[in-house]
Amino acid sequence: MKVTEHIAQANGNTQFSFEILPPLKGQHIKSIFDNIDPLMEFKPPFIDVTYHREEYVYKEQANGLLKRQVVKKRPGTVGICAAIQNRYKVDAIPHILCGGFTKEDTENFLIDLDFLGIQNVVALRGDAVKTETYFTPEKDGHEYAEGLVKQIKALNDGHYLDDELLNTSKTNFCIGIAGYPEKHMEAPSLDSDIHFLKKKIKSGAEYIVTQMFFDNQKYFDFVEKCRKEGISIPIIPGLKPIATKKQLNLLPHRFHVDLPEALIAEVIKCKDNAEVKQVGIEWCIQQSKELQKAGIPVLHYYSMGKSDNIQTIASQVF
């Protein structure tokens, strides 16, 4: 089922969903199931699976020179989605990127998803590869998520890249996109970011999932601004419970989000990460309850490969 249909059928109840990332290459899919199993009692209508593009690593050779190698550390997004749909009978949503994909790669990826019965995708640009400052698209790839959304929508209308194909089958993807309550790191202003968000919607996106935030007011203000700008599609909030002291610096650095002073103060007081985890759980429960009270249709949790704290939060909220 499509995310938009899940939301329509929820009859005003707030639903639980979460995102997982594929395991590092070499690990078994069991590590994924072990994280998902405890969360299934909260009946997620869908589970997102992130996509991780290639990275460049430099390996020293016998002659002392460095050799550049291209590696994908977390492959398996499509396989995991298929396995989730098969094992749990819930919708699995692969994230799909512009980065590292030509338009032809994208089309072939989408054909695989369609054949597997996957009906939702989250269309994203992706970040720059770690060794580069700015995002560079593939030679025949998309520069922004908007182009990717357009390509998925075209396939939904039966338009393949090869316009000589006859009697083509139409795909039926519901397209999700990213939104940033605290603006995307490269956007010169929130207004500019929302301007481009609207273009993704005009191109065919049907729902938004937000970047994590730790202050609900940021989300409420963002939704209000989007609605004033005429954006009417669902805006699903993304939530992440802080779990280590290191994340006080890592999350703002990596995701360009602010942490509220009160949360920072609580984390600083903690003696160890077990205490930080507890603070993160309590903070996230409060955030979740407030969003639930506001009638938000779905709360989406970033599990980042660990489900125990999400399980504790969900048991208090759903």
Chain residues that interact with ligand FAD, rule: CB under 6 A:
50-51, 53, 95, 97, 122, 124-127, 144-146, 178, 184, 186-187, 192-193, 196, 200, 209, 211, 238
Give the three-state DSSP class for 110: helix
Cα-based distances in Å from 96 to 3, 35, 124, 250: 16, 22, 6, 24
Task: Give which of 102, 146, 104 is closest to 125, Cα–Cα.
Answer: 146
For residues 215 and 204, what is the distance between their CA atoms, to the nearest angstrom?
Answer: 29
Closest separation between CB of residue 206 and ligand FAD, Å?
Answer: 14
Q: How far apart are CA 312 and CA 274, in angstroms?
A: 14
Taking the least distance from each CB to ligand FAD, the nearer of 236 and 313 is 236
Residue 116 CA, distance from chain mean position: 20
Minimum CB distance to ligand FAD, residue 121 (Å): 11
Scan for tokens 């989007």, then name that residue. Answer: 226
Q: Which is nearer to ligand FAD, 36 or 276 (CB)?
A: 36
**Taking the CB of residue 62, how many other CB atoms lie within 10 A of it?**
5
CB burial readout 236-266, b (16+ within 10 A) else e: bbbbbbbbebebbeebeeebebebeeebeeb
For the CB of residue 220, give the shortest distance to ligand FAD in the complex, in Å.
17
Question: Judged by CB, which is closer to ligand FAD: 56, or 196?
Answer: 196
Nearer to ligand FAD, 266 or 288 (CB): 288
Angle at 35 between CA 176 and CA 129, to 5 degrees: 50
Query: CB 254 → ligand FAD: shortest distance, Å?
Result: 10
Tokens standing for 204? 């065919």
Q: What is the DSSP letter of 134?
A: S
Q: Looking at beta carbons only, is 100 or 260 nearer to ligand FAD?
A: 100
As measured in angstroms, the least distance from the Cβ of 213 to ligand FAD is 10
* CB contact at 8 A, 212 and 239: yes
| Residue nearer to ligand FAD on the CB measure, 233 or 276 | 233
List the Cα angle 23/26/31 in 5-degree steps.
40
Complex with ligand FAD: residue 192 or 315, whichever CB lies closer: 192
If one counts every other C-beta atom within 10 angstroms of the C-beta of residue 213, the result is 23
The nearest distance, CB 190 to ligand FAD, in angstroms, is: 9
Minimum CB–partner distance for residue 264 and ligand FAD (Å):
22
